[in-house]
Amino acid sequence: MARLKAACCAAPFLVSVALADQPRPTLPDGCLPEAGAVGQALEGTLRAAELRAGDGVCIARSIFICRRMAALPGDGVRQMRFWAVSEKPDRWQRRRGHLVDAATGAWTARDLVGIGEAIAAPALARPACFPALMQAERDARARELGIWKTERVRSAHRPRALASRIGRYTLVAGRVLAGETRSTLYLNFGRRWSRDFTATIAIKNGCIHSRRG
C-alpha cells in the first residue's frame, strides 16, 4: 500500500492505491497521454485545499480546490480512480492526473468547474481537455454559480472601475491596441498607456504564451 498526493500543490487527497483494470474514464479524447492508459483504484477523502491540478483546474485562490466540498455529492471517503498524465512524480512526490468518480464516471475537475468552485487553467490542461473545462466554466458564469456570484470578467475599457481590484486576481477582457519594446510586450487596452488599462509580458516569456494560444 502506498500514499499518493494527487496532482496538487497541497495534498487534497490522501489515498490508498491499487492498480485496477477497469473501463476508461469518460474524458474527452486526447486527455490521457496514451490510449491504453490504466487507471488506479483509489479510496480517499476529498479535502478543501489550495492546489494546481494537473488536469487543468485551478482550485481556490491561485488556481483553486474548492471552498466548500459540500457542493459535490458523496462527501467523506469515496471511491475514485486516478489516471496519471506525468510519467514520474515531481521532487515533492506529487502526481499530475485526472480523478474520476468510480461509481458514476464523473470527471471531478469538470464537476468543480461546473459548479463555480474552480476555474479552468489553460496553462495546466492538455489541449484536448481544455475546451470541455472552458465550456463548463462558461455555463457556471452564465448561471452565477460559486465564485461567479461575486466575480465576473471585467471590461479593460473602464480602468477606474478596476481600481478596487488592484492586488487581486482579476479576469479582464478588451481589445488590445499596441505595442512592444526590446524587452517588454505591452498589451495596451487604450490609447493612453499611462491612464488606460495595460498589461506587460517579458519578451523572454513570449514563447510560453504563444504555445498556449
Helix ranges (DSSP H) in 43-119: 108-114
Tens-place pLDDT, residues 101-131: 777 778 888 888 898 888 887 766 677 888 8
What are the grid coordinates assigned to 16, written together?
A: 490508498
Q: Please give the backbone phi and psi of residue 38, each rounded to the nearest 5 degrees, phi first.
A: -110, 130
| Three-state secondary-structure class, residue 3 | strand
Contacts of 14 (CB under 8 A, 6+ apart): 3, 5, 44, 45, 47
The domain ranges of the chain are 3-149, 154-211
| Three-state secondary-structure class, residue 7 | coil
Higher pLDDT, residue 9 or 39: 39
CATH topology of domain 3-149: OB fold (Dihydrolipoamide Acetyltransferase, E2P) (2.40.50)
Q: In angstroms, rounded to a whole number, what is the distance separating the alpha carbons of residues 80 and 82?
A: 7
Say how many Å lie between the first and final Cα of the chain, rounded.
Answer: 41
Tens-place pLDDT, residues 141-194: 999 998 888 888 888 878 788 888 887 777 788 777 767 677 787 777 777 767
